Structures are given as structure tokens and as C-alpha cells.
Amino acid sequence: MAELALREALRRAMVEEMRRDDNVFLLGEEVAYYDGAYKVSQGMLAEFGDRRVIDTPIAENGFTGIAIGAAMAGLRPIVEVMTWNFSLVAFDQIINNAAKVYNMTAGQYRVPMVIRGPTGAAENLASQHSMSLEAIYAHFPGLKVVSIATPADAYGLLKSAIRDDDPVIFMESEMLYGFKGEVPDAETLIPLGKADWKRQGDDVTLVTWNKQVHTCLAAAQQLQDDHGISAGVLDLRTLRPLDEEALFGAVARTGRMVVVQEGYPFAGVGAEIAARVQEACFDALDAPVLRVTSRDVNQPYATNLEQLVMPSVQRVVDAARAVCHR
């Protein structure tokens, strides 16, 4: 296995798919001559040229609409948004067109496209650049939503997303682009809709995705070392479709669950998971499903305040201890 940074794993996935299929192309702000705002597309312009790696104006609604039209015509665009916060400018195109075209045309048109870029808080980017929007996009039928935490998952899931015939919202993390991990040397596709156990545990399950996977892994280690609590970490990876089999199986195994998300608490993905688990697995639960989320305030700029707002290892540990009655 090769050790790759997450940005390198994403690039490898895109390059392999563009070599395999001439219909795949990349467009977005600074993806070509600048090698990408986060250097994810570094070197791709030199290999594929400016007809397949396309710099766009700062006009998310416009170039997202162009990509939707291209997908309807048989191409497979990859749209890079500089941050998912800016995708709100293209919200009408994504929701009213990409998500609905297949249904509204009775299956005459599909929209095989990927929209990808970083989500959530980075460091000192304040409110307009720090939102986690997965709950918004997962709300709408017609979209698939992926949110990744490791280079191996970035590689395998992005390849599957590019080949999927539906629009896929693909969420990364600016904080993890440099995070390194092993990626299989052979081509590997990870199916959408399948969660992954990042750590096994018997007493409580920590359910999470994106960079909070790493928060939960640190919390699980602290729970084991300091409190003798065996915590499993279930990385959902895909939020829509949701891997209910893995969620319900986790409850059957541990009887306790804490959902850790970077998004806001009100109407979040964690609330949906808690509702589904408690409806389907009530008799298997030994405690209510708890949530650890970002605080219900706009993201501050100052580092110390940003850390107070975000989920932390200690907050996860406290929630796990609560459901374990410790």
C-alpha cells in the first residue's frame, strides 16, 4: 500500500477516472492554472488540457448549472467548490435541477455528476467559511451525500461517486487535506451507502463522519485508558443513503450510542440518526442516544472561541460516560 495525503488520494481517483473515461472532466475556481485552491488538482491541467480541467469565473450558480447541462448531455462533470459554504450561491441549481431532473423527466435524463470540496470549520475562517451543510443536502431526495475522513475512503468513494449515475455531494475537510494514510495500490471502489468500523468496541458506539472521526478515535482511546470503557467508532462515510444495517447492528452490539457531528444541533443529521435508532431499536437501547454537536451559535473567528464551539474529545468522553452511567 502507498501512503498518500488525502489530497493526493482525491487526485489519484480523479486522474484514474479521467484516463478511464473521456466523458469525465473537472471544473471550478482555480482548478487548472493554479493547481487547485488546496492543490487537489495539481498537475492535472498538464495531463488533460484546458478542455477537461477548466478554470471558471467566481460564479458558482453559473458553472454548476453548466455542469448539470453537461451531465444531462452524457458527460460526467466533477465540480469543485472552494468551500461548501459557497455552494449556497448555487443552491437553486443543485436542488431544483440536479436533484430533480431524473424524476421530473420520468427517467429520460440522468445527472451523473460530483460536486466536491471542503466542508466545516478550518482555522480562523469565521462564520461564512465554516459551516457544515451535510444536513441541508441530505434533506433532499435525488442527491447522494458522502463525507470522508481518510485517504483510503477519499480514493475509493470518489471513484464510485464519479461512476454513479446520480448527483453526488462529496464533502471533504480542509483540515484533512494533508492527513496521510495507506491507500491500496490496486484500483479499489468503495460502494456508496456503506459505513465502516474505524474501531471496534463493546460498551458504546460513537457514530460520526468527516474529521470528527479523528476526534472520536482520540476519545475512544481516552475512554479505554482512563475509564475502562470500550468504545467503537462507526464512520458513516455516506449520509444519504444511510447505512441503517450498520447503525442498528451497532445498537444490538453495544446498547448505547453517541452521535458526533460538526453541524448545528437543530434538525441535524444526528437528530435523524437518533430518531431512526430509537424508533427501530428501542428495546435494544440501554440509554438514550446522545448527540455531541457544534454549539448552536455562528462560528467565531478567535481560535479559543472556535475550539469552544466545536465538538471536542472531552465532550465526546463526557457523553459516552453518561450513556454508560459512569
Q: What are phi and psi of 137, to 5 degrees?
A: -75, -35
What crossing angle do the helices spanning 6-20 and 151-163 adopt, rounded to 10°? 30
Whether 129 sits among the annotated catalytic residues: the reply is yes
With residue 150 as reference, give the H or E element that holds it. none
Catalytic-labelled residue, pool 29, 60, 134, 306: 60
Catalytic-labelled residue, pool 8, 29, 80, 129: 129
Starting at the edge strand found earlier in the chain, the sheet holding 144-147 runs 53-55, 24-28, 76-80, 114-118, 168-172, 144-147, 238-240
Whether 139 sits among the annotated catalytic residues: the reply is no
Q: Which residues contact 48 (CB under 8 A, 6 or more apart)?
A: 18, 25, 26
How far, in Å, CA of 164 to CA of 110, rounded? 10
Residues labelled catalytic = 60, 129
